[in-house]
């Protein structure tokens, strides 16, 4: 059995959601729409290809080639994605998303003089076995080694337009923990790279942070290995993007209770106003 960062995060949020998604592998009961993921996936695919393959063939990639390769990657991405273009929240057309990604990729490549990616590897899979039969797994977006001082920078790419918001430092620290188990050292710097802003957002790391996370993950792994009942923990944040929210009894009961409570509050407020008159 594997435990990725996403699976671990899901377990911490709601064990029932984890059980449905990662153990039963139940199909989602809400319609899927990959619209929001398109931009980030596209930019990431470009840098993965450039870091792992293209840089060896073409040390400098001209802008027209960058744009052309990105357009081809986009076609492949669209072919394997589910996008409902007429959903109410869709603001940008399929062409807008490509144009934005091409512009941002060119800007990132330019500002780093493309050399940065010569010493960067992307999409590195790490698997670590544990004594309770659960393997910790993760795919690290980027590992960069400074050629001069050999310092290691480990970072995760983000496609969001909200820099520094809703970040979970544990995501990059989880990957750092895997890196530590595998390479027997912690990275020197870790953080998130925001493609739209061409900006790095650092996250603090030292041995104490890693040991604290290690202890927490270790307790959760034992819990997962011995668990026989997967309780639901309905809460606004976890349920909002849950694939099973339309059929989850606990969420529906909570929503119904909240509706009743809010109705009662409105009635009570009405009574107070009348009394005041
Ligand atoms: S809808 Fe909420 S309570 Fe139900 S499984 Fe999903 S996250 Fe858990």
Task: State the Cα–Cα distance between residues 245 and 21, nearest whole angstrom.
Answer: 12
Q: HSE of 9 in the Cβ direction (CA atoms, 13 Å)?
A: 17
- Residue 74 is predicted with a pLDDT of 98
Which residue among 19, 28, 245 has the greatest number of ligand 1 atoms within 8 angstroms of its CB, and so is best to mutate?
Answer: 245
Give 3-state DSSP helix, strand, coil % of the chain, rounded to 5: 55, 15, 30
167 CB within 6 A, ligand 1: no
Cα 166 to ligand 1 centre (Å): 20
Query: Which is it for strands 2-3 and 135-145: parallel, antiparallel or unpaired?
Result: parallel
Count of other CB atoms within 10 angstroms of residue 95: 9
Mean pLDDT per 10-residue interval, the chain, length 277 residues: 95 96 92 93 96 86 96 97 94 97 95 82 93 93 94 96 88 97 96 95 97 96 94 92 92 88 68 40
pLDDT (tens digit per residue) in 154-192: 999 999 999 878 889 999 999 999 999 999 999 999 999
Using alpha carbons, select from 111, 107, 119 the residue that is nearest to residue 50: 119
What tens digit of pLDDT does each residue of 93-123 get?
Answer: 999 999 999 999 999 999 877 788 888 999 9
Supply the pTM of this predicted model.
Answer: 0.88
Please answer whether residues 255 and 263 qualify as being in contact, where contact means their C-beta atoms are separated by less than 8 angstroms: no
* 186 close to 207: Cβ distance less than 8 angstroms: yes
For residue 18 and ligand 1, the question of a CB distance below 6 A is answered with: no
195, 158 in Cβ contact below 8 A? yes
Per-residue confidence (pLDDT) for residue 272, from 0 to 100: 43
CB-ligand 1 contact for 232 (6 Å cutoff): yes
């Amino acid at each position: 059995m594997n435990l990725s960062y996403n699976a671990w995060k899901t377990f911490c949020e709601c064990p029932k959601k984890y059980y449905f998604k990662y153990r039963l592998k139940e199909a989602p009961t809400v319609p899927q729409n990959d619209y929001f993921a398109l931009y980030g996936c596209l930019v990431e695919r470009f840098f993965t290809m450039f870091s792992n393959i293209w840089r060896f063939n073409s040390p400098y990639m001209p802008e027209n080639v960058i744009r052309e390769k990105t357009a081809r990657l986009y076609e492949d991405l669209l072919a394997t994605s589910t996008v409902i273009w007429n959903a109410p929240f869709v603001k940008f057309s399929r062409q807008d998303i490509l144009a934005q990604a091409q512009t941002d990729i060119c800007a990132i490549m330019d500002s780093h003089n493309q050399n940065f990616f010569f010493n960067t590897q992307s999409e590195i899979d790490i698997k670590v076995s544990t004594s309770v039969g659960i393997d910790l797994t993760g795919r690290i977006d980027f590992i960069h080694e400074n050629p001069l001082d050999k310092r290691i920078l480990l970072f995760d790419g983000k496609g969001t337009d909200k820099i520094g918001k809703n970040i979970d430092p544990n995501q990059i620290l989880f990957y750092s923990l895997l890196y530590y188990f595998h390479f027997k050292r912690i990275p020197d710097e870790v953080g998130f790279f925001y493609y739209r802003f061409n900006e790095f957002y650092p996250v603090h790391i030292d041995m104490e942070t890693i040991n604290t996370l290690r202890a927490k993950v270790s307790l959760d792994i034992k819990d997962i290995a011995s668990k026989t009942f997967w309780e639901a923990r309905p809460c606004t944040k976890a349920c909002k993007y849950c694939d099973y929210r339309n059929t989850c009894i606990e969420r529906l009961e909570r929503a119904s209770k909240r509706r009743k409570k809010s109705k009662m509050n409105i009635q009570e407020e009405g009574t107070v106003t009348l009394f005041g008159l």
